[in-house]
Chain A
Amino acid sequence: MENNTTSNEYVRGTLKTIVLNLLAEHDRMYGYEITQEVKDRTGGAIALTFGALYPVLHKLEQEGLLLTESVEVDGRLRKYYSLTHRGNETARTKTNDLERFIEAVRLLLAPKNLATE
């Protein structure tokens, strides 16, 4: 549980980039599909809660990076998300930014790890 909350803490800052990156790989996805995809690929290390995911999705839609279409499935509305042209560009830059950030964080963390070892 504690592990989960700390992961959530990091996920908060990178969630936008993760979502954009996932959508860039797929044509369109819906919310649960995204959570499942994240869970499968990270082996459950990162679990997106609906409480974190949906506000971000709505925010991205408001910014004009995502398009939505609602399809009725099994008696309920399912909202599919896809990237706009601008969303595609944003996904690329944000992914690059995150990778550089991770590199930097790794540089920051490595000496400490070495020292402790």
Chain B
Amino acid sequence: MKRLQENRIDQITQYLQASKLDPELLPEILDHLACEAEESLWDGKSFEQIYQNMVNTADAQTLLNLSVDHQNLLAMEKSLNDIVFENRNKSYGAYDLRKGYGQTVQRAVVMGVAFFLLLVMFPQLYAKLIPDPKPDDIAYIVEATPVDIIMEEQPVPPAREEPDPVQKTVKSVTPEVLPDNEVPIEELPPVVDDLQNAQPSTETVDGVDNLEVIAPPVENAVAPKAEAAGVEKRKEETFTFVEQSPQYAGGNEAMAAFLRKNLKYPSQASRAGIQGKVFVQFTVGSDGKIENAAAVKGIGFGCDEEAVRVVKMMKDWMPGKQAGVPVRVRFTLPIAFQLD
């Protein structure tokens, strides 16, 4: 097997380059031609002869056709641009712009539509992505961790309830006057000795003997019942007859003098010659005040009115007494009118 020398191969390469063979094809064509040449060498031809043959078969026109054919085959569809720019400067820039025009327009349309849609739908999109907070939405959640609260146990000593010191009392109830069959026997009045160190009360309490405190009388101490039993119920009544009648302060003489001094004989009565007694009834209160003075039986001619007037003028009386207690007493006082 004979091989081509390096310089021979270079010679072929230079020839192919000079005839402007497509660089993509060049290595293959070179290999092809070299193979042919080697075969020819094998047949005993000289390289010069072979080279001449080669140049004859693969002349410039053939190689150019090959390049064009190759390009045409690869570029299946030849666009208008390729025809327009055939044999023109394609590296200038206009060709690239034209070639990429369709793609550019397509991209521009897509982008423009997308942008426009985005612009139009922005409010809806915004509303969808960021919904308005509803009133019952939870703004935030705080996770509550259970906290154990341990009561500090302070043993409270049970307070010993000491009753307040109570005044020593002895049961001492005023005896009520009752029919014999109803009288309870057990309630006997306290002995004096008992009361020496104690206060009277409804109950007998074994309190402190002599409290330093000057205690007010025990709450349930016996209210002093002034009147004797049986009589007290008629206290507010107006008596007609009492044990001790009310008296004018100073006695009957003083009253007579007061009457003589103050009574004026009414002129009507004197002219008519009227004389007699006027009975004036009034009430002497337990405090001695004269109330409700009125003529019960009169003689007329102004004498009644005069009598009542003078009676009302009278100072306080000494109230009438029943069982030593002053009471209201109705009293009738006769006042005599006598002409001289």
Contacts and interface: CB of A to CB of B under 8 A. Distances in A.
**Chain A residues touching B, majority SS:** helix
Interface string A45-81: 0000011101111110010000000100111111100
B181 to A, nearest CB: 142
B294 to A, nearest CB: 151
**Chain B residues touching A, majority SS:** helix
B4 A54 contact: no
Interface residues on B, range: 20 to 34
Contacts of A75: 6, 9
A76 B74 contact: no
B292 interface: no
Contact of A35 (B30, B32, B70, B72): B32
A51 to B, nearest CB: 4
Interface residues on A, range: 20 to 34
Contacts of B28: 30-31, 50, 54, 57, 79
B74 A50 contact: no
Interface in B31-45: 31-36
Given A74-B4, A79-B27, A32 B36 contact: yes
A77 B73 contact: no
A58 B74 contact: yes
Interface of A: 30-32, 35, 50-52, 54-59, 62, 70, 73-79
18 contacts: A31-B28, A32-B31, A35-B32, A50-B66, A51-B66, A51-B69, A54-B25, A54-B32, A54-B70, A55-B72, A55-B74, A59-B74, A70-B27, A73-B31, A75-B9, A76-B30, A76-B31, A76-B34
**Which 3 A-B pairs give the minimum distances between C-beta atoms?**
A32-B35, A55-B70, A51-B66
Given A32-B36, A50-B32, A54-B70, 17 more contacts: A32-B32, A35-B32, A51-B65, A52-B69, A57-B28, A58-B24, A58-B25, A58-B73, A59-B74, A70-B27, A73-B31, A75-B6, A75-B9, A76-B9, A76-B31, A76-B34, A79-B31
Interface of B: 3-4, 6, 9, 24-25, 27-36, 58, 62-63, 65-66, 69-70, 72-74
